[in-house]
Amino acid sequence: MELELKYGCNPNQKPAKVFAENGALPFEVLNGRPGYINLLDALNGWQLVRELREATNLPAAASFKHVSPAGAAVAESLDDVLKKIYFAEDVELSAQATAYIRARGADRMSSYGDFAILSDECDEPTAAYLKREVSDGVIAPSYSPKALEILKSKRGGNYLVLKMNSDYEPPTVERKQVFGVTFEQKRNDVKISDECLADVPTRNKNFTPEARRDLLTALITLKYTQSNSVCYAKGGQAIGIGAGQQSRVHCTRLAGNKADFWFLRQCPKVLELPFKRGVKRPDRDNAIDVYLGGETFEETWENLFTVKPAPFTADEKISWLKNLRGVSLASDAFFPFGDNIERAHLSGVDFIAQTGGSIRDDNVIETCDKYNIAMAFTHIRLFHH
């Protein structure tokens, strides 16, 4: 069975199609017309949320962009501050909706125009939240009748809705072509579980239940993130993902900066920004990102705010970030130097899971001990390309 696509990665790449070599495709198109990248996001994301659901026994969700997650989360409750920064103060919250709101909310800039991935049935609250956000499509194992009705009305009736066969298991061997050459390998079916956290070489060996949940969330997220990659997690969700960097420490910095922005958005000075009524959510997201980046609004503030915001100074940011603690950090391969730990510490990291096996493991362990960080060697590499 095959399915014709709009085009490949780019509009000039036609014709394009997907097909199953044996039997039917494992998904059904309920609405819209999929593109090549849509399906890469959907199928990578589905694997992520399925494994996260199994590992935590909680509904899970991911927000995918360009074959890496912008966010991933499980259905842990939202406090009032998170509801505000995720624009969820006035929405009905089901477990599946909560998981997706967390997944999308961690990095709303990157999630703009995402593909939504849901582990459980898409219910009416989840569909209602999706309808008001800028998103290209959604995949879930099932949809309630009302949810499907809502989603089919999105984007002028062209919103992409995919139904995944939750019983589908792929072949053990996977193949792809690059420049006419076929690559073949065993599918990465390594299981991420609590056993991955058993080898703890640091003096601090105490992982709280919340830290274990967050480390599993981060590791499973990394399994489907373009390498090199690092993920910060807290509260059952990724709060900063650094994907596709050639240097490990650049992953750690990139993801750490995103985690910092996530926490800075919760500062009263940011929560109380005097936005004018009617400013759209994407415009608010952009303005907050500019504000946190230290830029000014010399030419545009009158379009956004009732009064010009006072600058958020470097000292104020440093002072607020000192309140960020209990963050978990995972890496898809070993940390080669202690500089990664130094950077992670600045973003409140108290728990780490990484592959281990560097010739400088002793330096990495020493740096963790310096900050009383508990670190596990997973002995599992999670490169994904």
What's 338-353 look like in SS3?
CHHHHHHHHCCEEEEE
Residue 175 burial (CB count, 10 A):
10
Q: Report the catalytic residues.
A: 65-66, 228, 385
DSSP string, 187-232: ---PPP-GGGG-B--SS-----HHHHHHHHHHHHHHHTSPSSEEEE
Distance CA 296, CA 320 (A): 20
In whole angstroms, how far apart are CA 32 and each of 150, 157, 239, 310? 13, 7, 31, 45
Amino acid in the structure at residue 189: D
Compute the CA torsion angle 104, 110, 115, 118 (nearest 10 deg): -20
Residue 334 burial (CB count, 10 A):
20
Q: Which two tokens stand for residue 20?
A: 């199953």
Q: Which two tokens stand for residue 133?
A: 């956000």
